[in-house]
């Protein structure tokens, strides 16, 4: 496949993904210099149990024309003190690693990037990582030790970072405070009640005994002719 076709496919898919993500409350996306291959992301933490709840974290994602066959890059633009975030803002996260199994790191192919993944998969993985760090292979050893041994101090530092991040909220942007759950599905009990009521109410005034029908049918013989009809009618 030519590079021009690859590039066109990457841009088409990215435009589609951006359109879908624009409907989400937990992320705010702009393009850098109107370039669909460079995204400026505002990642919003809405998990009330997260140490980073309420944060608005600026990041940049870049894509090549080989996307989605090759993963994007992701980098926080503001410092975040976290076990899996390097000082320059890059993350230590499997989903951003090139496709295929890595014998050296022990990562399975299912943990790494694949063309079936997408921007939403990456962003949701980043949010999960913020909430639940992987301290066994840290990018920031000091943050990993603090998270393990001094959780209260770690949470305090995280809250300070959250407050500082609010200065990056764009003018006019309304920060969500929670993710509204979808409306609950209609229960089968409601359906049963509806049909029970319908059986009682849908009475069209007909006879329940069927006596009138029997009387009408009695006037015809089994051949469908009137029993009392005159033989002269046949002539």
**Contacts of 215 by beta carbon, 8 Å cutoff, 6+ apart:** none
Q: Are 26 and 43 in contact (CB under 8 A)?
A: yes
Domain boundaries, the chain: 3-168, 188-230
What tens-digit pLDDT sequence spans the chain (235 residues)? 444 455 689 999 999 999 999 999 999 999 999 999 999 999 999 999 999 999 999 999 999 999 999 999 999 999 899 999 999 999 989 999 887 656 565 566 677 899 999 999 999 999 999 999 999 889 999 999 999 999 999 999 999 999 999 999 999 999 998 866 545 555 445 445 545 554 555 454 554 544 555 545 445 454 545 555 445 555 4
Of 10, 51, 92, 93, which residue is the catalytic one?
92
Assigned token pair, 80: 């975040």
- The three-state secondary structure class of 23 is coil
The CA distance from 113 to 119, in Å, is 11
- pLDDT at position 170 is 95
140 is catalytic: no
CATH number of this structure's domain 3-168, picked from the four choices 3.90.105.10, 3.10.110.10, 3.40.640.10, 3.40.30.10 = 3.10.110.10
């Amino acid at each position: 496949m030519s590079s021009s076709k690859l590039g066109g496919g990457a841009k088409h898919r990215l435009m589609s993904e951006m359109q879908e993500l624009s409907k989400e409350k937990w992320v705010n996306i702009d393009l850098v210099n109107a370039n669909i291959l460079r995204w400026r992301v505002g990642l919003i933490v809405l998990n009330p149990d997260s140490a980073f709840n309420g944060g608005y974290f600026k990041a940049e994602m870049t894509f090549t024309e080989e996307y989605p066959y090759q993963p994007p890059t992701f980098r926080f633009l503001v410092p975040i003190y976290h076990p899996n975030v390097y000082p320059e803002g890059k993350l230590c996260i499997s989903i951003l690693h090139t496709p295929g199994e890595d014998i050296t790191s022990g990562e399975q192919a299912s943990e790494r990037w694949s063309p079936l993944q997408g921007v939403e998969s990456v962003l949701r993985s980043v949010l999960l990582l913020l909430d639940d760090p992987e301290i066994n292979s840290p990018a920031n050893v000091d943050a990993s030790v603090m998270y393990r041994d001094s959780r209260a101090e770690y949470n305090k530092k995280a809250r300070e970072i959250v407050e500082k991040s609010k200065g990056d909220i764009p003018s006019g942007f309304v920060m969500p405070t929670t993710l509204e759950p979808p409306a609950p599905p209609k229960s089968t009990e409601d359906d049963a009640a509806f049909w029970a009521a319908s059986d009682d109410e849908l009475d069209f005034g007909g006879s329940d005994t069927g006596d009138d029908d029997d009387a009408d049918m009695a006037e015809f013989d089994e051949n469908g002719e009137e029993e009392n009809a005159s033989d002269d009618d046949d002539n």
